[in-house]
């Protein structure tokens, strides 16, 4: 993959070699570091720096001058494929003068997978004329803008991920192909709203048509992946012969065919509100994806929601929870921006509280080891399942989103690599990790009015993330959230030989948000000796990392 680095020139990978060129004047060293504390020093050759064999993860690359002064830095994700650890964004504006702004915002977000939403002319014939077309909702689409967008995303190191509804067909196609549809118990074709009829994902003829239509459009435009969307229903359906369809098996058959025909594409599949659970995804570049809705409308519901979606019980789910693989992406649409269902304004809603909700959603999912899709297009945040109904952010709001996103990227590997022990540490008198916050309850789930604390153990490392949710009355992603009141937490960690460990904390909103060493005290613990660390909380989110020397 490739990405442009601010102030560092091109960043690209050829085999196992990663190259930086056009380094800032005065660069004497270039260092890449992981959240785990591992560092790799590049080999310098004039204005070119080379890294060889960086392992998968999110690396912070810094060009340094005399006495270690940072001249430029960047966050970039390295993996076997970009679906392995997706950093999500979206695009939904497809006119020629939109492209630059869409690319710039997704660049600022460090998006590696950008969902290109509702770009097609028709669901069953997505590719339109070179002169352009209108999408199924009547919005204008420029073919040249789509191609420029796909090309620009590739240059930035991102996948141009085409939205592709798995069973949406229009009435004309449905009339001509009744054998390819799904039917209800009365023998009527299943519909979505008034203009969409649902095809049967298990029907071989539909599978072939879909791949030919969407694959051909992808090749012409430059898409290199598909987001396979569903509508969350039907839960019960029949084929044209009246035989009941096993919906999970139907999806799996469709995805296998798509993978066989498009072996190199990044493929995601939407399990709407977790349905159907335990869908087996095809091998290859891809990831699990799910929209979340009521009754999963509290932040504390997200962890169990992720587990049900994958169909793997417990906190140690394999393989999507461990071995450096983010366990899925949650698409979430917080309706917190002060609009009623018709788009009209609501009184008494502060934009700062709406913004706090959306950044806290991404922070919670990061601490749970998952990805999120909330931000994209032209400095926008999702608030509705129809992406064009997004919320445009002003300059200050966009800067806040970028700050929280980069903090998430700086820390996220600590919560995807290792064993999550939060539920038998936080609040358990036998736990090896304790977190206290003055005047606020602390727990392993994101409850309103409290502090979320997550703990992950890895060999020679303990990571503790804390997120202040005291400004959330009910802990709902569907309600506004004010800034919290916690300014410091005390963390105690039971370790063998406390003198053999070091502590560092990354603090959102601090003068230096990188991991900075923190002083420790040795204190008694009912099972031995513990390290105690005071961790500042400036803007609501801090991460403590203990490493064995």
pLDDT at 347 over 70: no
Residues whose CB falls within 8 Å of the CB of residue 29, separated by 6 or more in sequence, listed in order: 41, 42, 44, 63, 64, 68
- Confidence at residue 57, expressed as pLDDT on a 0 to 100 scale: 87
Q: Between 498 and 133, name the one with better pLDDT.
A: 133
pLDDT at 8 over 90: no
Residue with tokens 């196992």: 16
- Confidence at residue 48, expressed as pLDDT on a 0 to 100 scale: 87
* Centroid of chain to Cα 399: 18
Domains 2-78 and 419-548 share a fold: yes
CATH superfamily of 88-415: Glycosidases (3.20.20.80)
- Average of pLDDT values for 357-361? 98
pLDDT at 349 over 90: no
- The CATH code belonging to domain 2-78 is 2.60.40.10
- Domain residue spans in the chain? 2-78, 88-415, 419-548
Cα dihedral: 335, 339, 340, 344 (round 10)? -160
Residues whose CB falls within 8 Å of the CB of residue 281, separated by 6 or more in sequence, listed in order: 255, 267, 269, 287, 288
- Asked if 183 contacts 239 with a C-beta cutoff of 8 angstroms, the reply is yes
Rounded CA-CA distance 458/325 in Å is: 15
Residues 427-460 have pLDDT tens digits of 998 899 999 998 899 999 999 999 999 999 999 9
Rounded CA-CA distance 134/142 in Å is: 9
pLDDT at 202 over 80: yes
Q: Which helix (H) or strand (E) holds 87?
A: none
Residues 213-255 have pLDDT tens digits of 999 999 999 999 999 999 999 999 999 999 999 999 999 999 9
pTM (2 decimals)? 0.93
Please report which confidence band the pLDDT of residue 327 belongs to, taking 50, 70 and 90 as the band edges.
low
Rounded CA-CA distance 415/27 in Å is: 32
- Confidence at residue 1, expressed as pLDDT on a 0 to 100 scale: 32
Share of the chain above pLDDT 90, in %: 76
Say how many Å lie between the first and final Cα of the chain, rounded: 34
**Two tokens at 144?**
């040249």
Neighbours of 304 (CB within 10 A): 12
pLDDT at 85 over 90: no
Please report which confidence band the pLDDT of residue 315 belongs to, taking 50, 70 and 90 as the band edges.
very low
CATH superfamily of 419-548: Golgi alpha-mannosidase II (2.60.40.1180)
- Asked if 201 contacts 166 with a C-beta cutoff of 8 angstroms, the reply is yes
Residues 455-497 have pLDDT tens digits of 999 999 999 999 999 999 999 999 999 999 999 999 999 998 8
């Amino acid at each position: 993959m490739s990405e442009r680095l601010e102030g560092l020139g091109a960043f690209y990978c050829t085999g196992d070699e990663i190259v930086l060129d056009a380094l800032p004047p005065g660069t004497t060293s270039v260092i890449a570091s992981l959240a785990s504390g591992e560092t790799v020093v590049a080999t310098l050759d004039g204005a070119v720096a080379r890294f060889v064999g960086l392992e998968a993860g999110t690396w912070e690359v810094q060009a340094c001058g005399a006495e270690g002064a940072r001249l430029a830095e960047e966050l970039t994700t390295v993996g076997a494929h970009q679906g392995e650890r997706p950093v999500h964004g979206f695009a939904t504006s497809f006119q020629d003068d939109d492209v630059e702004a869409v690319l710039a915002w997704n660049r600022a977000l460090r998006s590696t997978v950008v969902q290109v939403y509702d770009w097609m002319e028709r669901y069953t014939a997505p590719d339109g004329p070179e002169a352009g077309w209108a999408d199924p909702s009547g919005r204008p689409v420029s073919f040249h803008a789509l191609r420029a967008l796909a090309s620009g995303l590739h240059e930035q190191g991102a996948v141009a991920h085409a939205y592709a509804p798995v069973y949406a067909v229009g009435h004309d196609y449905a009339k001509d192909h009744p054998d390819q549809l799904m039917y209800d118990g009365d023998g009527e074709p299943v519909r979505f709203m008034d203009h969409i009829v649902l095809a049967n994902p298990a029907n071989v003829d539909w599978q072939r048509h879909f791949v030919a239509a969407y694959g051909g459009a992808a090749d012409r435009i430059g898409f290199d992946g598909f987001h396979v969307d569903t509508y969350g229903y039907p839960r019960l359906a029949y084929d044209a012969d009246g035989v009941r369809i096993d919906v999970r098996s139907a999806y799996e058959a469709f995805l296998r065919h798509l993978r066989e025909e498009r072996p190199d594409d990044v493929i995601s599949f939407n399990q709407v509100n977790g349905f159907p659970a335990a869908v087996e995804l095809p091998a290859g570049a891809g990831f699990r994806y799910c929209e979340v809705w009521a009754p999963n409308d509290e932040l504390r519901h997200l962890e169990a929601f992720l587990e049900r979606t994958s169909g793997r019980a417990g906190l140690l789910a394999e393989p999507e929870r461990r071995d450096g693989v983010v366990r899925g992406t949650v698409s979430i649409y917080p309706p917190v921006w002060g609009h009623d269902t018709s788009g009209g304004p609501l009184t008494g809603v502060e934009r700062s509280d709406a913004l706090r909700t959306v950044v806290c959603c991404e922070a919670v999912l990061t601490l749970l080891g998952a990805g999120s899709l909330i931000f994209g297009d032209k400095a926008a945040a999702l608030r509705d399942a129809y992406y064009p109904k997004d919320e445009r952010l002003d300059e200050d709001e966009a800067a806040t989103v970028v700050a929280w996103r980069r903090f998430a990227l700086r820390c996220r590997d600590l919560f995807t690599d290792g064993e999550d022990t939060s539920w038998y540490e936080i609040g358990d008198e036998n736990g090896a990790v304790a977190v206290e916050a003055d005047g606020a309850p602390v727990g392993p789930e994101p409850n309103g009015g409290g502090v979320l604390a997550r703990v992950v153990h890895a060999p020679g490392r303990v990571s503790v993330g804390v997120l202040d949710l005291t400004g959330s009355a009910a802990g709902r992603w569907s309600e506004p959230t004010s800034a919290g009141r916690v300014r410091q937490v005390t963390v105690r960690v039971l370790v063998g030989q406390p003198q053999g460990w070091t502590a560092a904390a990354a603090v959102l909103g601090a003068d230096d948000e990188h991991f900075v060493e923190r002083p420790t005290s040795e204190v008694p613990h009912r099972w031995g000796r513990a390290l105690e660390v005071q961790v500042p909380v400036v803007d609501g989110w801090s991460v403590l990392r203990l490493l064995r020397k």
